[in-house]
A = this chain, B = another copy of it.
Amino acid sequence: MDISFLGTSSGTPTKARNVTAIAIIESQGSDWYLIDCGEGTQHQLLHTRLSLNSLKAIFITHIHGDHCYGLPGVLASAGMNGRTKPLTIVAPKGIKEWFEATQVHTQLYLPYELTFVETEQFTEQAFGQFAVASTKLSHRVPSYAYSFTEVKVDASLNIEKLNALGIPQGPIWGKLKSGQDVEHEGQILRSAEFIRYLNKPRKVVVCGDNDTPEILRAECEGCDVLVHESTYTEALASKAKEAGHSYAKLVASFAQSCELPNLVLTHFSPRYQLDSEAETSMNEIQTEAQAEYSGNLFLASDFDTYRLSKLGELSLVLEK
Contact B105 A97 (CB under 8 A): yes
Is A47 within 8 A of B95, CB to CB?
A: no
Asked if B80 and A73 make an inter-chain contact with CB atoms under 8 angstroms apart, the answer reads no
- B43, B47, B63, B66: the one contacting A43 at CB < 8 Å is B43
Distance between A143 CB and nearest chain B CB, rounded to angstroms: 12
Q: How far is the CB of A81 from chain B (nearest CB, A)?
A: 7
Determine which of B40, B70, B95 lies in contact with A105 in the assembled complex, contact meaning CB atoms within 8 Å.
B95
A252 to B69, CA, bound (A): 37
By a CB distance below 8 angstroms, the chain B residues around A76 are 12, 65-66, 69
Measured between beta carbons, the chain B residues less than 8 angstroms from A12 are 42, 76-77, 80-81
| B63–A73 CB distance below 8 A | no
21 of the cross-chain contacts (CB-CB < 8 Å) are A11-B80, A12-B77, A13-B43, A13-B46, A14-B46, A39-B43, A39-B69, A39-B72, A40-B40, A40-B43, A63-B105, A64-B106, A65-B76, A69-B69, A69-B76, A95-B105, A98-B101, A98-B102, A101-B101, A102-B102, A107-B141
Instruction: Mark contacts of A11-44 with chain B using CB atoms, 8 A cut-off: 1 yes-contact digit, 0 otherwise.
Output: 1111100100000000000000000000110110
- List residues of chain B with CB within 8 A of the CB of A73: 39, 65, 69
Chain B hits for A101, CB < 8 A: 97-98, 101-102, 105
B-contact 0/1 string along A37-64, CB 8 Å cutoff: 0011011001100000000000000011
Q: How long is the Cα–Cα vector from A235 to B42 in the complex, in angstroms?
A: 29
The minimal Cβ–Cβ distance linking A49 to chain B, given in whole angstroms, is 13
Which residue of chain B lies nearest to A72 when distances are taken between CB atoms in the complex?
A: B69
- Of the four ranges (under 10, 10 to 19, 20 to 34, 35 or more), the interface on chain A belongs to 35 or more
Query: Which 4 residue pairs of A and B lie closest in terms of their CB atoms, listed nearest first?
Result: A98-B105, A101-B101, A39-B73, A12-B77
The interface residues of chain B lying within 8 Å CB-to-CB of A97 are: 101, 105
Nearest to A100 among chain B residues (CB) is B101
Assembled-state Cα–Cα distance A26/B47 (Å): 35
**Residue ID in chain B nearest A11 by CB atoms:** B80
Contacts of A47 on B, CB cut-off 8 Å?
15
Q: Digitize A183-220: 1 where CB-to-B-CB distance is under 8 Å, 0 elsewhere.
A: 00000000000000000000000000000000000000
A100 to B77 alpha-carbon distance, docked (Å): 24
Query: In the complex, how many angstroms separate the beta carbon of A315 from the nearest chain B beta carbon?
Result: 28
